[in-house]
Amino acid sequence: MDNSMLERILREAGVPELIDVLVERLAPTDLQSLLLESYRRRVVAVKPSQLLERYERDRFVRPSHLAPLTMADFDRLVWSLLPDAYTPVELSPVCPLGTNAAVATVDQNKVVTTIRNTEVVADATNVLALECASRRRRLLRADPRNRERVRLCTSHRVVRGQAYSNPGALPHFRLLGLCVAGRDEGSFQFETTSLVEQIAFYLRLLREATRLGHPVHGMRVTITDLERGRREQALNAHVLEPLATNYPGVRCELDPDRETGRGYYVGVCFHVYATNLAGIEFELIDGGFTTWTQQLLSNTKERLLISGLGIERFCSQFCATPAGGD
């Protein structure tokens, strides 16, 4: 929130120390009770006509423009192609307060926070990381050196709180998210095998989506070594070359100039691009390694690869009838 706006609110409320009281002097449960009562009283004054007006102008509550059957068909394709090692998970609509800001470089203002000390899921991979950490912790309690991988996948509607300048950006959309968590296996083994596994799944998914009426052309994979080129030889030999061999026609290359994701991802990150019938190339899949499970488990040996695909963006832009730009 803008400081001038905050100062105005405190000044008009006549309680200059209000923020300090709410943040530092009230326990989270007491603040929750206070806010619940505040909104209960506000709701009493809401009239049906006001409710309808709010529904029509609030960008967060309007329904998706994509047909439910289209998303259901895409989800069925996902589950039919998902490797057996991955476990599908149906997430809760909300997650613990701080799920994004506490482990990732995300401002809380970009998240829809609830008054019950939770927040609406803004990125499914953050929540999958929590579930991965929870499952890994159980394994580590039995064996502190356990190397069993936890692989999870979800298709989940997420809500983003920030205002976008791009009119095509959506305040809420369905996101396909994948996570694989495990322990460092040495020789960059966990990293390279996990990358091949996830990227290969996405390439199969995009190719098979053609039979659902979502033709894809010109697929390409780019991988960025975030360790100043230290891993480029291994990435070429153990990730890009096997993918190029198994998926002829897909361009697989290093992208040392990528700027986005630095500071968010560590070690390695990747993109998958494709071109639609209108000849427009889209960045469809973004993924990379993070330190989230290391932070959650206080264990530097833990490894986590996350990735995601915006389902509505893909289905609307890649269809038999060419769509406009995003």
Q: What is the dihedral of CA 191, 96, 295, 24, to 10 degrees?
A: 160
Q: Of all helices (H) and strands (E), which one includes residue 106?
A: none
Instruction: Give pLDDT, residue 141.
Output: 97
pLDDT at 69 over 50: yes
Q: Grade residue 4 by pLDDT with cuts at 50, 70 and 90.
A: confident
pLDDT at 155 over 50: yes
Instruction: Give pLDDT, residue 11.
Output: 86
158, 173 Cβ separation under 8 angstroms:
yes
Find the mean pLDDT for residues 153-159.
97
The closest of 286, 260, 311 to 105, measured between CA atoms, is 260
In the chain, the percentage of residues whose pLDDT exceeds 70 is 96
Domains of the chain: 3-45 (no CATH), 68-317 (3.30.930.10)
CA dihedral over 209, 211, 214, 219, signed as positive or negative: positive
Task: Please write the tens of the pLDDT for every residue from 241-254.
Answer: 999 999 999 999 99
Q: Grade residue 325 by pLDDT with cuts at 50, 70 and 90.
A: very low
Task: Please write the tens of the pLDDT for every residue from 298-311.
Answer: 999 999 999 999 99
pTM over 0.85: yes
Task: Please write the tens of the pLDDT for every residue from 193-213.
Answer: 999 999 999 999 999 999 999
Q: Grade residue 167 by pLDDT with cuts at 50, 70 and 90.
A: low
Q: Report how many helices (DSSP H) and strands (DSSP E) the chain contains, helices first.
A: 11, 10
Q: Grade residue 162 by pLDDT with cuts at 50, 70 and 90.
A: confident
Kindly state the DSSP code that residue 288 receives in the 8-state scheme. Answer: E
Describe the crossing of helices 189-208 and 68-81 by its angle, rounded to 10 degrees: 130
Q: Which amino acid is at 275?
A: T
